[in-house]
Chains A and B, each alone.
Chain A
Amino acid sequence: MLDPDSGLSLTIARIVQRLKGSSLHSQLERQARVSLHKPEIKLESLKEDIKNFLKTSGWEKKLQNAVYSELNVFPSPCHPAAPPEHMKEPLAYMRKAQGSWEKRILKSLNSMCTELSIPLAQKRPLTEQKELLNKWNEMGTDEPDLSLFRPVYAPKDFLEVLMNLRNPNYENGEQPSFRNHLGLIQVPLKVKDIPELKEDFSELGLNIGQLGIDDSAQVPPEFFENEHVRVGQKVLAEQDSAAAQQYVRQGCPTALRPELWALILNISNQPEDILYYEQLKSNVIQYDLLVDSLIYKDVKLTASNDDYYFVFEDYLYQVLLCFSRDTSVLEHFTYSSATPPKSYIRGKLGMEEYAVFYPPNGVIPFHGFSMYVAPLCFLYHEPSKLYQIFREMYVRFFFRLHSISSHPSGIVSLCLLFETLLQTHLPQLFYHLREIGAQPLRISFKWMVRAFSGYLATDQLLLLWDRILGYNSLEILAVLAAAVFAFRAVNLMEVTSLAAAEAVLADLSTLKVMPLLQIFLFATVT
């Protein structure tokens, strides 16, 4: 806990330091230098004139957006006495749980290597490199035999871990008592109740226009839509990230979505970004990693079988393979509870100067990982831009869905929020499902881990992700999961087994997310 003043100066210091090393910094310097040749820059008022020039030429806006992006991504600074792991996760038992979960993953990966006797990473022979380069755009046509590979873990395994998570300082009696939660998650995190959520998501209120709702009786929907598109164009013309973020809370018009999301995530796809992507591509060509097979397998098992996403198979390989080689992803481990796996170059075991992270980005894909990328393929067709958007979405949001932490957007909090909402607002349903052995979280967990990707129709999914970006929070996922149960409550009250309950909730592709969210948050008597 820092007092506000020192917290602010620390934040400012960190942002200044980070921006100093960025290409934006050198660009700004360059522009300032170039501006010296302009007649309106006077010597006697040099500083003010250059400031004015940077303002009118739009560079100030770029700087603002960069600062805003930093503020959105990085957590506020910790107390100076706190060790670095405190920033990753303040609760010691959560850090420990994440650590032992990682160890399990490492063991599983190592035993796969040993069983199949293949190394984790090796250089490709030149002929293979050429071959891969030639079929870069049609990697999906390749049908390697992956029957021996298995996903390192699936959401179901992860849920088992979260269910067994306990605070050792909490009275966890064997006997059921007021201290035990009735759901599966047993950690005492603070989650929001409906009044707090109503306040947070006030822009989703009943009397505020939303894209994704077209049932207004009094006003024709075009009235709001046309106006909303007009405002959206204005936001884009202004190139202001903060305004764009506020704007998407009411939903993005389809035509403007790619640009608005890029603006919020501060992705501009500059020539150096394209160069960076090409470099990643050449790293894919050079090195053969075991995780590539896991990625292949995952795409084949998930996206390739999906009615909406199978067409993007080739894009998915490109993005995910490049992602695994991207060392800039490692940066997110400063604020994530996870730690990247470590290894040593062959024959140099234990020598610190030969220690490396594996995979180079530190992220081991799990079953369903490719579904984080798939919906984005609808928005971006240029691989380098698609790639950057995905990477930014991952380091801002998606990593929280598969690591154990106490963060309000972390998967543990989402699970607890979901269970608490359901239990307080549909107690009978919750009790019924629990009694028949169909704990609601067993059904909804996979939706939340994948941020509903692959479960909702694409247009609905994008409307949902609009709100994730708009509120810079994943809590909406838990609210939607609870809303889906509320919507199907009548049918669910009649089922008598987990399988039957799963069948009732098997197909979410016909659901309209915005009406569900609105009704659950604002039209239910609390």
Chain B
Amino acid sequence: MSNFYNFMGLFLMSFIPLMVVAIGAMMSEKGGVTNIALEGIMILGAFCGVLVVKYLGKAVGMNADSSMWLIQGVYLFGMLIAAVAGILVALLHAFASINLAANQIISATAINTLAPALVVFLTMTLSLGQVRGSDEIEVPYALFRFKEMGFLSKIPFIGDLFFKDANLSVFIGIAILITSYIVLYKTRLGLRIRACGEHPEAADSVGINVYKTRYFGTLASGALAGIGGYMLITNIYTVYNGTVAGYGFLAMAVMIFGNWKPFKIALAAAFFSFLTVLASGIAYIPFLENLGFSNEVLKMLPFIATLVVLIFFSKTNQGPRANGVPYQKGGN
């Protein structure tokens, strides 16, 4: 059984960030703003979060022996800063694409170009890395995993799955999923967001402030992308060197795969992460390992499978109608 739990651990660690960012993408697109800048926002969010963890951790003397509350506090504070950074970057995108009605791809591409370059530039020039001249910032990811959570770890199945060698991101991710569903489908704000994504003119005609609503969607997406980037780095990587391995674009794909609906997105992310983790976690599944597929074939698998699944399920897929279309009050 330990093989199973190890595999599920790997799975959760890559599934949660992907889902969070995909939900972020959805929040923005539901409101009618295409956000290809997710990759860049993730990179900058993760950068700020990791820096906070590094320097705050140093300031409070965080190490393997410090109390759990201290460590998790630092972790959460890093996540908060990552979210704030994400919001700030998304603000740039929102301003260009909502207020100025600019082409939404342009400002997003600018952010995607800026983020990795800025991170590497700052790390190298200010010597933020592990050693002088290195572009890698260390990530104390092992510290954030809980080893033992008292009685919680002793619950049969769930204890092994969620409370051993997992971290807070799992719970936060699930909370985000549920919150996003409630906000979008059970509140007035959610209805307004969806209206602005489908038919902004109609929404405007009944007195909804399209700009404000779209701002909310885009900034929420920025916050979630920042959090997602931070989660990804602290979940999987030991060092951070200004890249999130294309997860921002993958999240967009997962969002389309999930047909712009929260729980479907979660399913799509799970499907995708499961296949992705097969490549790295195949050692935990003996019978598959014995088949002797090369690692590259396994890595290719999730992408091919996604395309095949999409061929069967895309006919009815329909994104928000006004997605990517700038809205200008009073027509243009």
**B and A form one assembly:** no
What residues make up the interface of B, taking CB atoms closer than 8 Å to A?
none
What residues make up the interface of A, taking CB atoms closer than 8 Å to B?
none
